[in-house]
Chains A and B, each alone.
Chain A
């Protein structure tokens, strides 16, 4: 229903109601965004909705403190003092990027290859193996944590980036294979047949034809996995805790901040916003692909 020259009265009422609903949905986020720019005294003594009455209380200091780490002074051995900065959201942000990008890239090609084989090759065990992928789509990843953690402790992968990439890849593969299978199996048979007649083998076929044709599906999965991994708390807590404070990702750092500095709302809100900025940007700019990924059946353990 496109808006014509004049909207009916019903449409006006519905638009007004929807605006109201959107306001209710947006106010919580707006609250922390505004608070993150207010200084600590103002935040502690008055509601954020009064912020625009006292514009001089706005500051960028919260972000400085959150990104660079809290400033404090420590006594040095020789009797003087030195300025130090504590654990920061800035390093957690970097750590999150380190965790997320490879966790998105590694499973994509592995899943695409498997999806191609499931869709276009015949081999013994195909049904059973694909059935296994389908069954494992919704298995809660809680079931894997202890066994995998034990393996990691044995081979020294606990608390390493490599360990968490492989874990996220493993947990993401069933969904990736499923989404890509749904896509690759709809590529017209005639395209593949003519390539085979021209003498292509499976590898050239995969690299030259399947991957380029599947870009929309690859993008959907990539964005979905990006947001999922970035926002994950559980896997990071379990597999990265052994790596010390430098490896903490944004969700873990934010949770620790909420635990230790729960009443410093000016810092907590700035921290929350730092943790949200990248997925929000990705989401808003690539929403189309994300929605496609969701519609493709995105139940994930």
Chain B
């Protein structure tokens, strides 16, 4: 960390006087321009990319010029905050403070004008629809996670031993790139239903009829329709579990497996006694990640059934309370409940972080 001498400091000051105002002008005028949105879409995009990149870099540069004007001890004290400050400010505004504010809102009435005590929480734990939502969310957590992890592990094990490892993995992984809404359309088409006698256009019902059965309205009746929605989630998430578990399997020592084989152990025994225990950590990570996704997933239900026919989950109810019924109290209370549900993971992450002696 070099000490700027007097001469250099003068140069720095001059540069700051030029760069600083330009940066400020570009940043503010760009902000106002984008806020008012007068340009065509393509221009807006181009402008936004240039403006965003320039502003972020130029602000950093200017701030660095300014702090370099300070004596070295001051410089060393200030410079970390120049680097860490923007991220902390944005995270604070978008995540930290909103958490506190939502907590407060959850104890207020629907329009947040007066204190409502525990009324919102009483509602979400007693209302019939909410009870369905809780029950369904548990189904999502249990079956969505279990099947995603199971299929991921199964395909990871198969891919390792097959002749088409790369292609196989890519095909199973592919749905990860598809939005939940897109997946919703794909599966709505699979589930398409027409009365008996008409030509079925949905593959599942065509198979049903082909086997001599009756066509089913898969998404129409609870509780089975929840499972047909969970199928979509599993279809999307299996690729994630495949990729992570496959990487973990590559780390299992071949020597130990070979030694077990020489001792006459069967493949299944090796799997249960050696392979699975050594990738246990990865299985836990994958399960947790998928559980978090299941807990927060709102898109599938919202675009497939809109929560009708007994398919409501917590996340879709939360959206409806907030933006359809405009009940900010109840909406916030459900968000707080979702937050409480993920808090063990937050606690675990923090504990792991404290164990690491990086500082």
Contact = CB atoms under 8 A, between A and B. Distances in A.
Chain B associates with chain A: yes
B156 to A, nearest CB: 10
A157 B36 CA distance: 9
B298 interface: yes
B158 interface: yes
B80 A123 contact: yes
Nearest to B154: A21
Contacts of B302: 233, 255
Contacts of A234: 298-299, 319
B95 A140 contact: no
A114 B164 contact: no
A116 B171 contact: no
A218 interface: no
Contacts of B124: none
B206 A47 contact: yes
A165 interface: yes
Given A11-B162, A136-B91, A156-B35, A265 B189 contact: yes
Contacts of B346: 135, 137-139
A144 interface: yes
B105 A114 contact: no
For chain B, the bracket of interface size reads 35 or more
Contacts of A35: 189
Interface centre among B49, B84, B173, B187 (most CB of A within 10 A): B84
A12 B345 CA distance: 41
Interface string A143-184: 111111001000011001110011101110110010000000
A47 B201 contact: yes
A171 B358 CA distance: 25
Nearest to B151: A21
Contact of B35 (A22, A49, A160, A272): A160
Interface stretch (A65-73, A76-84, A273-281): A273-281
Q: Is the interface of B mostly helix, strand, loop or mixed?
A: helix
Contacts of B182: 231, 251, 254, 272, 275-276
Contacts of A137: 346, 349
A146 B332 contact: yes
Interface of A: 1, 3, 7, 10-12, 14-15, 17-19, 21-22, 25-29, 31-32, 35, 43-49, 91, 94-95, 97-98, 101-102, 105-106, 109-111, 113-114, 116-119, 121-123, 126-127, 129-148, 151, 156-157, 160-162, 165-167, 169-171, 173-174, 177, 185, 196, 199-203, 206, 227, 230-234, 237-238, 246, 250-251, 254-255, 258, 262, 265, 268-269, 271-272, 275-276, 279-280, 282-284, 287, 290-291, 294-295, 298-299, 301
Given A29-B175, A109-B56, A138-B349, 6 more contacts: A14-B161, A18-B159, A97-B45, A98-B44, A162-B48, A237-B323
Interface of B: 1-2, 31, 34-35, 37, 41-42, 44-45, 48-49, 52-53, 56-57, 60-61, 64, 68, 77, 79-81, 83-84, 86-88, 90-91, 93-99, 101-102, 105, 154-155, 158-164, 167-168, 170-182, 184-190, 192, 199-203, 206, 235, 238, 240, 243-244, 247, 288-289, 292, 295-296, 298-299, 302-303, 315, 318-319, 322-323, 328, 331-332, 334-336, 338-339, 342, 345-346, 349-350, 353-354, 358-359
29 contacts: A14-B161, A18-B155, A18-B162, A18-B168, A28-B235, A109-B56, A114-B83, A114-B87, A131-B350, A136-B91, A140-B339, A140-B342, A141-B95, A142-B319, A146-B102, A146-B105, A146-B331, A146-B335, A147-B97, A147-B102, A157-B35, A161-B48, A169-B90, A177-B87, A231-B180, A231-B181, A276-B182, A298-B289, A299-B288
